[in-house]
Amino acid sequence: MNSLSTLVLGFAPGIFWLWFIYTRDRYHREPRALVIRVFIVGMASTILASIAEVALMLSLDIDLSILDNLSELSIKNMAVLSFVIVGPAEEISKFLIVRSIVFKSPYFNETNDGFIYSAAAALGFASIENVTYAFQFGSEVMFFRGPISTLVHVVLGGLWGYGLIKYKLKGGKALGLLLILLGAAALFHGLFDFLLFTQAGSGSRYWLLAYVLFIGGLAIYWWMLQRTQKTSLKSLRVTRMLRQCLRCNSYVNSNSRFCPQCGSHMLSEMRVPTLICSNCQSPVVKESKYCATCGYQLVK
């Protein structure tokens, strides 16, 4: 496989999942340019993580040559490499990228944003890792890294991403939560890598546990993404389009065919009921995205 194909194969999972997660934000989508910027700088964070890993290994008097043959490491050295070096270095590097770029941005202002921007940084990081491994070990390695390792970065990033947005919204009250979730991300990252390292060596019996952790973490991440989507909707200046029944003057949803109060057909009268904003009761045009009076976003 040529170099161009390897690059495409390495970046494809990250770009797909970034698009998928970004489009889940249905009500107040983040600026595309800012998300792409976080993704690109997330790619560069691999350099920061590599420097941190080398510094930690040297400070612990660990020979860098052990990275050439992980299958020959002892369980103790695998644990140190996973939990003390790789896990903390990579998660903190991605966290610092998001913290430095978007924390003070006015667009980093709702619960769901923590997942969007952490995913962008994590997928940028994972894409460079995928390309590196594909060039080093062959494109077939992507059949494992593509669907699994890429999403592991996203799920773990979601932990400190949620903590970071809570810290932004609540200030010092959420600092403890942020530190706990960042530490948890580093810990679980180390655990996942440890299971992979032992799988490559004498402990291949751990592969099932790695998959169970992955599936469980992905399910929790998806649940949190959906939950924060609803929380973000409540925190935004979002309102509904309503229609006033011409017979009993009750306000009903704009897409209702019948009035729930008197049962009359909403469009059976000679004139079409006026659409109004549920927040300020001002008339709005059907094609409007925002109320011209109160500025709230209109959701049908």
| 136 token code pair | 């080093």
| 26/233 Cα distance (integer angstroms) | 9
More confident residue, 251 or 5: 5
User: 114 with 161: CB under 8 angstroms?
Assistant: yes
The end-to-end CA distance of the chain, in Å, is: 50
Neighbours of 232 (CB within 10 A): 23
Rounded average pLDDT over 36-61: 93
**CB-count burial class (<10 Å; 0-12, 13-18, 19+) for 4:** exposed
- Which band of pLDDT confidence, cut at 50, 70 and 90, is reported for residue 56? very high
Orientation angle between helical segments 150-170 and 113-137, nearest 10 degrees: 150
Q: How many residues does the chain have?
A: 300
Calculate mean pLDDT across residues 43-72.
86
DSSP line for 78-105? HHIIIIIIIHHHHHHHHHHHHHHHHTT-
Per-chain mean pLDDT for the chain: 80
Question: How large is the average pLDDT for residues 112-139?
Answer: 87
The answer to whether residues 14 and 139 touch, using CB atoms and an 8 Å cutoff, is: no
| Strand 275-277 relative to strand 238-244, pairing | antiparallel
Q: Supply the pLDDT for residue 271.
A: 46
Adjacent-strand bridge partners of 299: 240
CB 95 within 8 A of CB 167: no
Give the residue, 220 or 79, on which the prediction is more confident.
Answer: 79
